[in-house]
Amino acid sequence: MMRKILVIGAGKSTSYLLDYLLSKAEEEKLEITIGDINPSAIATSISNHKHCTVISLDIFNKAERNDAISTADIVISMLPAHFHIKVAEDCITHKKHLVTASYISTELLALNEKVKENNLVFMNEIGLDPGIDHMSAMQVIDKIRDEGGNILLFESFCGGLVAPEYDNNLWNYKFTWNPRNVVLAGQGGTAKFIQEGTYKYIPYPRLFRRTEFFEIEGYGRFEGYANRDSLNYREAYKLQNALTIYRGTMRRVGFSKAWNMFIELGVTDDTYTIENSEKMSYREFINLFLPYSPTDSVELKLRHYLKLDQDDIRWDKLLELNIFDDTKLIGIPDATPARALQKILEDSWTLKSNEKDMIVMYHKFGYELNGEKKQIDSKLVVTGENQTFTAMAKTVGLPVAMAALKILNGEIKTPGVQIPITKEVYEPILEELKSYGVNFKEYDVPYLGYNPNSVVS
């Protein structure tokens, strides 16, 4: 008897996910149904597969949604996070398991008892970050604890970057994921973490000026800035007694200091719209945020405003983005400053069809064992194949697909709304990921405590 998997949403992150499921369809007796608002956009190599059916699915159409979910054995939702709740409620109604790559919302968590009552597995946060970060971190943390060690320090960083051979702009960066998320990074709250037993808070205007540096063997030097709330997983990871907990985002060195120019200028603001933005040139857009002068050029005003010397590399980075071009138009009606900035950046930072992306993840574990302080560094680098089969799509999509199949096969069976932090989940998935080139390297290094090379300015 064929088992039915419903995948809702077929965006950029689903190339490896669908490939994996369809490659297993024959031996695992799977029928894959893909529900998307725009089914014509799905590649024919997928839609023509004998074990695949593509349907038009409007997530806001309750009848369509219920019809699709009721006939499935398990549902994978790759929709934006705030849409998962509709799918989740229907999954409870029809007693179907659910898998998502998104952070658990409070609304979803509130369904936990109902999910358990129906003996369902609602697996969330099982993409890359969150996802592989949880699983790889808990594997090392559990190993340390099983040996009798006590965790003193946990740091974790992840970044979606461009592969070194295509790293050819002054920012050392290109969009490998949703550009909007990059432009709005760090907004919506003060970053908080704990350092050597002391709580630390970084407001958004200072976020990109407090960075930590580290090396990835064979790939050089990187920097990291703090995520909004590094303490979210203190209870889940059982790190209540850890003296340092810090989670962050990785970039190449120099990116954060340069990005801070946009924050100082005010162009990352997404709270209001700009008049006549559709017909506005890049140059006119930048000039909106500078003082009026009947004589000074936009370039001169911006130099003065940002206090940039003539030999400051950040000036060259701005020039590279063509922000002073008076012929290129924003072309978006009622754009917010952040949306207009995104348009400018997409001109320069969009991956070309032949270019590859790269995922970098770095964990640091400080612990005490038998009275001695020790440290393990765990590092992952994954490079994409092309613009479709990206490292980002691989590291987001494969864990989702693997979890769905293991739930379907009864290998993951603990019910409830959960994240992948138990051995039942992370051990088989991390082991299978190795065969796809997703493999962490661990190093025993001297214990240093919180990074003494952190920069605060």
CATH of the domain at 56: 3.40.50.720
Q: Is residue 212 part of a domain?
A: yes
Least confident of 95-99, 186-190, 244-248, 312-316: 186-190
Tell me which of 85, 102, 124 is where a domain ends. Answer: 124
Q: Do 244 and 143 fall within a single domain?
A: yes
pLDDT at 45: 84
Q: Do 312 and 445 fall within a single domain?
A: no
Q: Do 232 and 364 fall within a single domain?
A: yes
Looking at per-residue confidence, does 10 or 440 come out higher? 440
Q: Is residue 186 part of a domain?
A: yes
Q: Is residue 210 part of a domain?
A: yes
Q: Do 320 and 371 fall within a single domain?
A: no
CA distances from 416 to 73, 112, 268, 412 (A): 17, 5, 38, 11
> Nearest to residue 20, comparing CAs of 451, 329, 380, 436?
436
Q: How far apart are alpha carbons 357 and 373 in whole angstroms?
A: 37
Those residues whose C-beta lies under 8 Å from the C-beta of residue 401, and which sit 6 or more positions away, are 16, 17, 18, 20, 21, 76
Residue 222: what residue type?
A: F
Q: Is residue 414 part of a domain?
A: no
Q: Do 196 and 244 fall within a single domain?
A: yes
Across 372-381, average pLDDT: 95
Q: How far apart are alpha carbons 273 and 261 in whole angstroms?
A: 20
Across 276-285, average pLDDT: 96
Residue with tokens 């890049």: 282
Task: Give the whole-number percent of the chain exceeding pLDDT 90.
Answer: 80
Residue 215, pLDDT above cutoff 80: yes
Q: How far apart are alpha carbons 12 and 81 in whole angstroms?
A: 15
Q: Do 245 and 140 fall within a single domain?
A: yes
Looking at per-residue confidence, does 455 or 163 come out higher? 163
Q: Do 291 and 164 fall within a single domain?
A: no
Q: How far apart are alpha carbons 123 and 429 in whole angstroms?
A: 13
Across 187-193, average pLDDT: 89
Nearest 10 degrees: Cα torsion 337, 338, 342, 343: -30
Tell me which of 102, 124, 146 is where a domain ends. Answer: 124
Q: Do 82 and 188 fall within a single domain?
A: no
Q: Do 150 and 239 fall within a single domain?
A: yes
Pairing of strands 52-56, 74-77: unpaired
Where b means 16+ CB within 10 Å and e means fewer, 228-246 reads bebeebbeebebeebbbbb
Q: How far apart are alpha carbons 157 and 181 in whole angstroms?
A: 17
Cβ 174 vs Cβ 412: under 8 Å? no
Q: Provide the number of structural domains found in the chain.
A: 3
Residue 250, pLDDT above cutoff 90: yes
- The pLDDT confidence band at residue 15, using thresholds 50, 70 and 90, is confident
> Nearest to residue 118, comparing CAs of 142, 141, 97?
97
Q: Do 108 and 247 fall within a single domain?
A: no
Where b means 16+ CB within 10 Å and e means fewer, 410-431 reads eebeeeebbbbbeeebbeebbe
> Quick one: how far is CA 52 from the chain centroid?
28
The parent domain of residue 10 ranges over 3-124
Cβ 385 vs Cβ 5: under 8 Å? no
- The pLDDT confidence band at residue 451, using thresholds 50, 70 and 90, is low
Q: Is residue 267 part of a domain?
A: no
Cβ-based burial of 108 (10 A; exposed 0-12, middle 13-18, buried ≥19): buried
- The pLDDT confidence band at residue 275, using thresholds 50, 70 and 90, is very high
CA distances from 97 to 17, 110, 150, 190, 281 (A): 17, 16, 36, 35, 49
Cβ 156 vs Cβ 362: under 8 Å? yes
Q: Do 209 and 239 fall within a single domain?
A: yes
pLDDT at 303: 95
Q: Is residue 445 part of a domain?
A: yes
- The pLDDT confidence band at residue 89, using thresholds 50, 70 and 90, is very high
Q: Do 215 and 246 fall within a single domain?
A: yes
Tell me which of 75, 103, 124 is where a domain ends. Answer: 124
Greatest distance between any 2 Cα atoms in the chain: 78
Residue 452, pLDDT above cutoff 50: no
Q: Is residue 11 part of a domain?
A: yes
Residue 38: what residue type?
A: N
Q: Is residue 222 part of a domain?
A: yes
Range among 10-19, 126-135, 380-389 rated most confident: 126-135
